[in-house]
Amino acid sequence: MKNILVPCDFSSASEHALRFALDIASKSLGEVTVLHVVNLTPDYIETLEINPYYADSMSILVELKHQALADFHEMTKKMVTGDTPVKFVVEQGLINQAVLKSIHQHNIDLVVMGTEGASGLHELFVGSNIEKIVRSSPVPVFAIHKNQKVERVKNIIFPTTIELNKNALIKKIKTLQAFFNARLHLLLVKTPDSKQKDQELKMALENFAKFYDLNNYTTVVKQGKTEEDGIIKYARQLQFSIIAMSTHGHTGLTHLMLGSIAEDVVNHCPETVWTYAGS
């Protein structure tokens, strides 16, 4: 977690994300790239499609970039960056495309984004944008719902199924756990359609942990009307926690890894959520 990308619209949610990213970078001796995306109004987009060098449209784009730089300087005045290198870049276009482009251009290994909570991510991430970023990002993504300090993360809730086909994901989870020096909570949500007994599921989770050589963990089976419901209820009970989920679609006992579940948790859970689109 050394090269961190923070999509930013200068909202309070973006400030929370940038503070968390700086906190991570300070610990990992990394650097932060702040990305602001300028998306012109439909009229200007239409004009640019006809003639991308149309003078009035280009002058507006330049003005918006200057304003973004001023807003960035104003925002960072309220923060302590220390020795952490912070770079500010402005891209023009669609937010999800700009994020993916920046990941490759700047060798990003972590994205940190701000969210407004139950109403969904801020305007920059409304609708399919967040779905596309979370599902398609080749690197892990943190969704930050509030001011979060790295030092206060003591627990990582890892909702999982019991299939033993998660090598890439577990490797990321182990790295995450080591970084925060946190206890890992293997959570299996038992929905009403599940026929297996709790004790059987607990034993399956223990075998899962042994198979992947996990340490400092707890196995938890919780009842829930839905997977999302069970995850959020458990997160509310556990202080100083973040949630780590895969967004890669899997079939299995509870279909817990289906991407839409992770997206629902990102939008509705007040806790910080880490997602990874790998297997």
- Using one digit for the tens of pLDDT, what is the confidence trace for 63-94? 888 888 888 888 888 888 888 999 999 988 88
Both structure tokens of 216: 């400092």
Model pLDDT, residue 123? 38
Which strand (E) or helix (H) includes residue 276?
strand 273-276
> Which of 58, 40, 3 is CA-nearest to residue 25?
3
Pick the CATH number of 3-144 from 3.40.50.620, 3.40.50.2300, 3.65.10.10, 3.30.70.1380: 3.40.50.620
- Residue owning tokens 């019991």: 162
Q: What is the pTM of this model?
A: 0.85
Model pLDDT, residue 89? 93
Which strand (E) or helix (H) includes residue 23?
helix 12-28
Q: Do domains 3-144 and 153-276 have the same CATH topology?
A: yes
Fold of 153-276: Rossmann fold (3.40.50)
Strand 241-246 relative to strand 155-159: parallel, antiparallel, unpaired? parallel
Domain boundaries, the chain: 3-144, 153-276
> Which of 243, 239, 234 is CA-nearest to residue 272?
243
pLDDT tens digits along 232-273: 999 999 989 999 998 864 434 443 444 478 888 887 888 899
**Which ranges of the chain have pLDDT less than 70?**
40-58, 117-131, 248-259, 278-279
